[in-house]
Structure 1
Amino acid sequence: MDTDELTQSVWDISEDEFPDDSPLGEQAEFLLRYAILAPSSHNSQPWRFAVRDDAIEISYDETRWLEVADQNKRELFISIGCALENLCIAAEHFDIGYEITYHTDKDDDLVSTVTLDSDSEPSFSRPPELFNELTERYTSHQLFDDQALPRRTREQFHRVLEEDDVTLYLIYEPEQKRSIGELQADADEAQMDDPAYRKELGYWVGIGALGSSWLMARIGQAFVSHFDFGEREGRKNSKLIEHAPVIALLATQGDTPAVRVKTGQVFERLALLASVEDVAVHPMSQILERPEMRTKLATRAGTGEELPQHLFRLGYVEEERTHTPRWPLEVVSSTER
Structure 2
Amino acid sequence: MNRRTFLIGAGGALVLAGGTTAWRSSVGSMAAYDVRAKRLRAAAGMPPDVRDLIRYATLAPNSHNTQPWRFHVGPGLIDIAADFSRRTPAVDPDDHHLFVSLGCAAENLAISGAAMGWPGEVLIAPDGHGARYAFASGPMKASALHAAITERQSTRAEYDRRPVPVADIVRLEEAAAMPGVHLILLSGRTQIDKVRDLIVAANSAQMADGAFMRELEQWIRFNPRSAMLSGDGLFSAASGNPVLPNALGRIAFQRFFNARSENEKYARQVDSSAGIAVFIGDREDKMHWIRAGRACQRFALTATNLGIKVAFVNQPVEVAHFRHELSGLIGDAGRRRPDIVLRFGYGPTLPFSLRRPLEAVLA
Q: Normalized against structure 1, the TM-score is what?
A: 0.86
State whether residues 10 and 328 of structure 1, in contact with CA within 8 Å, keep that contact through their aligned partners in structure 2.
no
Mind listing any 5+ residue stretches in structure 1 that lack a counterpart?
Answer: 1-5, 20-26
Tell me the residue number matched to 1:282: 311
TM-aligned CA distance change 1:104 to 1:193, over 3 Å: farther
TM superposition shift of 1:28: 2.9
State the distance in 2 between where 1:255 and 1:313 align.
Answer: 22
What secondary structure does 1:190 align onto?
helix
State the distance in 1 between where 2:85 and 2:273 align.
Answer: 34
Give me the identity figure in percent.
26
Mind listing any 5+ residue stretches in structure 2 that lack a counterpart?
Answer: 1-32, 228-232, 238-242
Give the residue type in structure 2 aligned to 1:302. Answer: G
Match among 261, 270, 274 for residue 241 of structure 1: 270
State the distance in 2 between where 1:220 and 1:17 align.
Answer: 43
Q: Normalized against structure 2, the TM-score is what?
A: 0.80
State the distance in 2 between where 1:216 and 1:324 align.
Answer: 18
Alignment of 1:205-220 (within 5 A): 205-206=220-221, 208=227, 209-212=233-236, 215-220=244-249
TM superposition shift of 1:247: 0.7
Tell me the residue number matched to 1:183: 198
State the distance in 2 between where 1:168 and 1:116 align.
Answer: 29
Tell me the residue number matched to 1:164: 179
State the distance in 2 between where 1:181 and 1:217 align.
Answer: 32
State the distance in 2 between where 1:192 and 1:115 align.
Answer: 42
TM-aligned CA distance change 1:221 to 1:35, over 3 Å: farther
1:45 pairs with 2:67: yes
Give the residue type in structure 2 aligned to 1:243. Answer: S
TM-aligned CA distance change 1:224 to 1:286, over 3 Å: farther
Tell me the residue number matched to 1:174: 189
Tell me the residue number matched to 1:3: none
Alignment of 1:76-91 (within 5 A): 76-91=98-113
State the distance in 1 between where 2:107 and 2:245 align.
Answer: 32
CA offsets per residue over residues 116-147 of structure 1, 9 Å max, x none?
A: 12x2479xx8x811111111111211111121
Tell me the residue number matched to 2:287: 258
In our comparison, the structure showing a higher alpha carbon Rg is 2
Match among 145, 148, 155 for residue 160 of structure 2: 145
TM superposition shift of 1:104: 6.1
State whether residues 104 and 112 of structure 1, in contact with CA within 8 Å, keep that contact through their aligned partners in structure 2.
no
TM-aligned CA distance change 1:330 to 1:250, over 3 Å: same
Match among 28, 45, 70 for residue 92 of structure 2: 70
TM superposition shift of 1:57: 1.1
TM superposition shift of 1:228: 6.0
Match among 327, 330, 333 for residue 356 of structure 2: 327
RMSD: 2.4
TM-aligned CA distance change 1:276 to 1:101, over 3 Å: same
Give the residue type in structure 1 aligned to 2:275. Answer: V
State the distance in 2 between where 1:162 and 1:302 align.
Answer: 19
State the distance in 2 between where 1:77 and 1:235 align.
Answer: 30
TM-aligned CA distance change 1:76 to 1:16, over 3 Å: same
State whether residues 81 and 263 of structure 1, in contact with CA within 8 Å, keep that contact through their aligned partners in structure 2.
yes
CA offsets per residue over residues 255-302 of structure 1, 9 Å max, x none?
A: 110100111111111111111000010111111111110111111121
Tell me the residue number matched to 1:314: 344
Tell me the residue number matched to 2:14: none
TM-aligned CA distance change 1:17 to 1:88, over 3 Å: same
State whether residues 47 and 80 of structure 1, in contact with CA within 8 Å, keep that contact through their aligned partners in structure 2.
yes
CA offsets per residue over residues 61-89 of structure 1, 9 Å max, x none?
A: 11211100001111111111111111111
TM-aligned CA distance change 1:261 to 1:217, over 3 Å: farther
What secondary structure does 1:16 align onto?
coil
Tell me the residue number matched to 1:103: 125
TM superposition shift of 1:47: 0.7
